Every structure is written in structure tokens, then in C-alpha cells.
Amino acid sequence: MKNLIKVLPLVLSLALMVGCAGEFQSTGSGSSAASDSSSDSWNETQARINEQTALDAANAAAQQQNNDAMAAAQETMNQHNDEFNRGLDLH
């Protein structure tokens, strides 16, 4: 859980960056077909980058949750084994 708290600001920051990046638009003095095509291409590329960044952040958070769950399971197994071994020592 502590690790999730460490990752949460990163995920939120990335989400904010993705949201803000969508607000940026190319501005120019003239409007031509070539300019519009270039702008559309740039916007599409930026959208794909934003989607990939968000996906990477989600995957990192999911991996961290998985790591936390595995660590908790290992800790439970260790405690069980310690209790079992103490029980053997009593006999």
C-alpha cells in the first residue's frame, strides 16, 4: 500500500499532462490545406503519444499493485511457516 501511495502522484501527474496536452493547438496566421493536414497529423501523433503515456502509467500502477499483493502473500506464507516451525519446536 505504501508503494501505491508513492506511485499515485506519478499517475496523477501523467494524467494531468495527458489532459493538458490535448489543449495545445497549433496557431498560425494563414490557413491552407497543407497547414491543416500538417496540423491534423501532429494532433493525431500527439493523441497517440498521450494514449500510450496513459496506458504506460496504468500498466505501471497495475504492476505495482501486483508486486504489493505478491509481497503480502509472501509475508503471510512466512508468518505461517514461522508459526508452524515454532509448533514443531515445542514437541
The string of pLDDT tens digits covering residues 34-77 is 678 888 999 999 999 999 999 999 999 999 999 999 999 999 99
d(CA 4, CA 64): 7
Q: How confident is the model at residue 7 (pLDDT cuts 50, 70, 90)?
A: low
| Predicted pLDDT at 66 | 95
d(CA 7, CA 53): 15
Would you say the pTM of this structure is higher than 0.85?
Answer: no
For the chain, what's the residue count? 91
Give which of 79, 25, 32, 30 is closest to 47, Cα–Cα: 25
| Predicted pLDDT at 48 | 96
